[in-house]
């Protein structure tokens, strides 16, 4: 099965980069583990975007298992758009202007 295209919002890239750097500052292996888990999440979302629950504003939400982050995304005609890599304690919906 061919996975759909994945488009990542620049702000989501920035959030993921900041999170990885934060974990790397604590322990480099944590930064690598965060990036690996996020990559696996994006692959899983791309291959079955309808699998995860509906969230705010017609989006869906994938919860990382090891780290307190959500991957907020929506399906589009051309694939999947990742809108946010949000820490679970961050104000819900702060990313709504990205839709």
CATH among 3.30.2310.20, 3.40.50.300, 2.40.50.140, 3.30.930.10 for 5-90? 3.30.2310.20
d(C-alpha 69, C-alpha 86), whole Å: 5
Mean pLDDT computed over 92-96: 83
User: Taking 90 as the threshold, does the pLDDT of residue 8 lie above it?
Assistant: yes
- Tens of pLDDT, residue by residue over 63-73, are 999 999 999 99
User: Taking 60 as the threshold, does the pLDDT of residue 7 lie above it?
Assistant: yes
Q: Where are the domains of the chain?
A: 5-90
- Tens of pLDDT, residue by residue over 13-33, are 999 999 999 999 999 899 999
Could you tell me the pLDDT band of residue 90, with boundaries at 50, 70 and 90? confident
Question: pTM (2 decimals)?
Answer: 0.89
Backbone angles phi, psi at 48, to 5 degrees: -155, 65
């Amino acid at each position: 099965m061919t996975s759909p295209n994945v488009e990542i919002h620049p702000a989501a890239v920035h959030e993921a980069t900041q999170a990885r750097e934060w974990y790397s500052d604590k322990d480099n292996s944590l930064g690598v583990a965060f990036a690996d888990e996020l990559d696996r999440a994006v692959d899983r979302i791309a291959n079955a975007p309808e699998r995860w629950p509906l969230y705010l504003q017609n989006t869906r939400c994938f919860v990382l298992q090891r780290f307190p982050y959500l991957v907020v995304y929506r399906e589009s005609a051309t694939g999947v758009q990742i809108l946010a890599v949000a820490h679970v304690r961050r104000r819900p919906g702060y990313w709504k202007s990205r839709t």
